[in-house]
Amino acid sequence: MANLKEIKGRISSITSTQQITKAMKMVAAAKLRKAQDRIIQLRPYSEKLSGVLQNVSSTLGSETPNPYSEAREVKNVLIISITSDRGLCGGFNANVMKATSKLIEKKYKSFQKSGNLEVLPIGSKAHDFFKKRNFKIIDTYANLFTRLTFENAREAAEMVMEGFLNKRYDRVEIIYNEFKNVATQIVRTNQFLPLEEKALEAGTASQEYDYIFEPEKEEIINLIIPKTLKTSFYKAILESNASEHGARMTAMDKATDNAGELLKELKLTYNRTRQAAITTEILEIVGGAEALSQG
């Protein structure tokens, strides 16, 4: 059985750790509120913009070509993996990296072996993970979360879009955590480029839109599509940012509770050990007194 000094030291150490996890939970909660507000405000705009793009595209047919929908033979692939810069957020980062590795193993193993697969990590955890495994990485935007603004996200999106137009990449996939609530984050794997033809939502499929184009159709389409892609890219980053703080808040809450349970057990052990030590001392004193009286 551990001695009293060891148990007392462990109690002190766990108490300090519990204070840290409480503080980290409070910080994550404050950051989550801000990040959640940003993604909730962006979602309706992004969904409406995508809906307008789908409706406009359905009226154009093949008369107006869309370079971002060009389906060609896949020779070069880019995978965008979005994690966080820091840990202590449960399985948040591990889930994304596991999903990315699974996607590569399942669909793009041959591209990786031939050197035709690149990874764009956003977040230090993804950068370190793929660098250690000798993937071809683009580390320009690994620290994007330290300066998370639409302008910086747009710059990264434009780099990816330009690479697709220049045929540096024939397919771009993006993997991130979608924020559902504080306790739940859903790993999403979406094809970013080329744009896939998606059926309209059930609620709007029966509606017919008669658009008046001012200026020309081509000019409007060339404006809407890049803007939709940049907004979609920024939305994925904000989803991941909110998910990170939610995951960290949940992880720190559980860590705090676990520390409390451990403290209860240690304090009980401490009291039992102390009681046993006192009992032993009393018995020794009584035994010594009895021996002296007999002597």
- Mind telling me the catalytic residues? 89
How many Å apart are CA 129 and CA 65, to the nearest integer?
39
Residue 160: C-alpha distances to residues 173, 194, 276 (Å): 11, 11, 69
Residues paired with residue 156 on neighbouring β-strands, in sequence order: none
Nearest partner of 89 among 35, 48, 140, judged by Cα: 35
The set of residues, in sequence order, having a beta carbon less than 8 Å from that of 188 and lying 6+ positions away, is: 175, 176, 177, 178, 236, 239
CB-based contact 193:185 (threshold 8 Å): no
How many Å apart are CA 219 and CA 179, to the nearest integer?
34
CB-based contact 267:11 (threshold 8 Å): yes
Residue 54: C-alpha distances to residues 171, 190, 204, 208 (Å): 20, 17, 11, 12
How many residues would you count in the chain?
295
| Helix, coil or strand: residue 137 | strand
Give, for 120, the enclosing helix (H) or strand (E).
strand 117-122
Residue indicated by tokens 């896949």? 74
Nearest partner of 179 among 229, 131, 249, 115, judged by Cα: 249
